[in-house]
Amino acid sequence: MISFPRTSAFVRLPALLACLGLALGLGLAAPSSASANPGLEGGRNLALGGATRASATGASAFYANPAAMSMSRSIEVATDYQAAVERNSHGFGIAAVDSMNSPRVALGLGYSTMIGVPKIGFQELGAESPRELKMSHRAQEVGLGLSVVILKRWLVLGVKPKYQSSSLRFVDSDEVRRDAQPTLHAFGVDVGASMSILGWVNLAFVGYNLNGPKEPAYTADTGPKLDPFELEPGSFDPKYLPRISDYPRGFAHGVAVLPFRSLRLSINFDGAYDVTTYAADDKFIRKTYGGSGEYILGKLAVRLGGGWDSRGRGSEDDRGYISGGIGVLKEATPGKVGLVATVGFSRDLSGLLPQTYLGANVGLRFNPGF
């Protein structure tokens, strides 16, 4: 299994920049987005553009790939915050992962919630001017992760059953609170597998929301239910209302190249496939591909990522994005407490209405010394 780096690790800066540039360049052209609560990916996952499934550990693994919780030995409790700036959405989460008390079993427990206030626009029948309406977008998730080492240093399997809910509401002209789409209350499940090839390469395979997926808020042909308002045909303007399903059923794969057989340098490539969001468009599959690189020098982690999101049919709504961030890592020596702190961002480089995501993470690591 993978171990975290020692603080004496050192690689020349030009080599680091070359590796990160390679990861970003390939990511923008080919094999992302970690699939947790719709408003929260986790600090490391956000900074690496979601291309983390094969190199995630601890709380990052709880969000991205439950099997990867067993890929290193640690006890970690982490809190996360993430903001989607343009659509006024905020996500909060806390996760605890223990892969130290048992050499073969890791457990994780987490809760996350998202509070959003996006706006939409439309023209009412008979009205002289367009109208803007503020929506209330809420989601929350609580999950229990379990990963089991099947073949030591080779193969790990994981599962994360969870309860998830999502709602989209508005207040009408009579101050009555109404649902714009059916509220989701469901038990979902994520499954994952992680493989290590002699410590040099990690492979990951993940299935998200295999049970309890949710339809998107609107499609190319239908918008949210806005009764009692009567809309002029074709006047609905979603603005920053998310087009992507809050909980899409999807599948993903990832590969992490580890030149030093440790996480002090990882080069990651991920691909993800969403079969829910554009199912109404002749079952079109949304594809996201990303690449990222992370270098850890002593207590400092430098992260860079990027990728491409196909969205729906055609290229007019495709998005390219770049991400990055830094982290501070203080390892937990036996009997001591360590610290993890991360800041990161992700920004669209193309597509309609580009969006900016900001995230921060603070966590504690524990080492009882056994």
Q: Which residue has the tokens 């860079």?
A: 304
In a domain, 333, yes or no: yes
| Percent residues over pLDDT 70 in the chain | 90
**Per-residue pLDDT for 36 more than 80?**
no
Q: 0.85 exceeded by the pTM? A: yes
Q: Which residue has the tokens 């597509």?
A: 351
Give 35's pLDDT tier (boundaries 50, 70, 90): low
In a domain, 5, yes or no: no
Q: Indicate left, alpha or beta for 37 from its phi (over 0: left) and psi (-120 to 50: alpha).
A: beta
Q: Which pLDDT does position 59 carry in this prediction?
A: 94
In a domain, 4, yes or no: no
Residue 247 class from Cβ within 10 Å (0-12 exposed, 13-18 middle, 19+ buried)? Answer: buried
Residue of 9, 16, 70, 41 whose CA lies nearest to 267: 16
Give 15's pLDDT tier (boundaries 50, 70, 90): very low
Instruction: Tell me which of 19 and 224 has the higher pLDDT.
Output: 224
Q: Which residues are CB-neighbours of 267 under 8 A, at least 6 positions away?
A: 19, 22, 23, 256, 257, 259, 291, 292, 293
The overall average pLDDT reported for the chain is 89
In a domain, 251, yes or no: yes
The CATH number of whichever domain residue 248 belongs to comes to 2.40.160.40
In a domain, 7, yes or no: no
Q: What is the pLDDT of residues 222-265, one digit of tens each?
A: 889 999 999 998 899 999 999 999 999 999 999 999 999 999 99
Find the domain containing 100 and state its range. 13-338+346-366
Q: What is the pLDDT of residues 185-222, one digit of tens each?
A: 999 999 999 999 999 999 999 999 999 999 999 998 88
Number of domains in the chain: 1
DSSP 96-155: EEE-SS-SSEEEEEEEEEEEE--EEEE-BTT-SS-EEEEEEEEEEEEEEEEEEEEETTTE
Q: Which residues are bridge partners to 267 per DSSP?
A: 257, 293
In a domain, 353, yes or no: yes
